[in-house]
């Protein structure tokens, strides 16, 4: 799965414990986006274990191995957003205020979960 030129196991692993469970389908989708984007995509968060999610107070989307946060801002964020939607990412989180270094897009391809928001969907932080 990680035999590719774009993403490393290290950047997709849980920041607290180094565990990594990542979906093959999501990885392939991410690579398709990266090839079309044709610029570096710095992943600030990939897989997160449940304990790490609880500690930082985030939703559990990252525990599925179907979600990444990509450091990106401004015009590049606009471009990446369009490509991600076209390639089938169904959950888009937008953090585009504050210093550019802290801006990112969350991309995931989760299926709709009963009782949760319908997908595709977009939200802001």
Residues near Zn ion (CB under 5 A) are 14, 16-17, 49, 52
Q: Which is nearer to Zn ion, 16 or 35 (CB)?
A: 16
- State the minimum distance, in angstroms, from the CB of residue 24 to Zn ion: 21
Q: Which of 101, 26, 96 is nearest to 61 (CA)?
A: 26
62 HSE (CA, 13 A, CB side)? 27
- State the minimum distance, in angstroms, from the CB of residue 100 to Zn ion: 27
List beta partners, residue 122: 92
Q: Which is nearer to Zn ion, 22 or 89 (CB)?
A: 22
- State the minimum distance, in angstroms, from the CB of residue 87 to Zn ion: 28
Q: Which is nearer to Zn ion, 13 or 71 (CB)?
A: 13
10 HSE (CA, 13 A, CB side)? 1
């Amino acid at each position: 799965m990680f035999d590719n030129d774009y993403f490393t196991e290290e950047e997709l692993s849980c920041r607290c414990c180094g565990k990594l469970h990542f979906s093959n389908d999501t990885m392939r989708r991410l690579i398709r986006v990266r090839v079309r984007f044709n610029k570096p995509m710095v992943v600030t968060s990939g897989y997160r274990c449940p304990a790490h999610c609880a500690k930082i107070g985030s939703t559990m989307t990252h525990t599925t191995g179907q979600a990444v946060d990509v450091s990106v801002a401004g015009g590049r964020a606009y471009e990446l957003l369009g490509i991600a939607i076209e390639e089938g990412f169904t959950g888009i989180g937008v953090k585009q205020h504050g210093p550019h270094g802290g801006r990112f897009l969350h991309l995931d391809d989760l299926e709709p979960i009963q009782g949760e928001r319908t997908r595709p969907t977009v939200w802001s932080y």
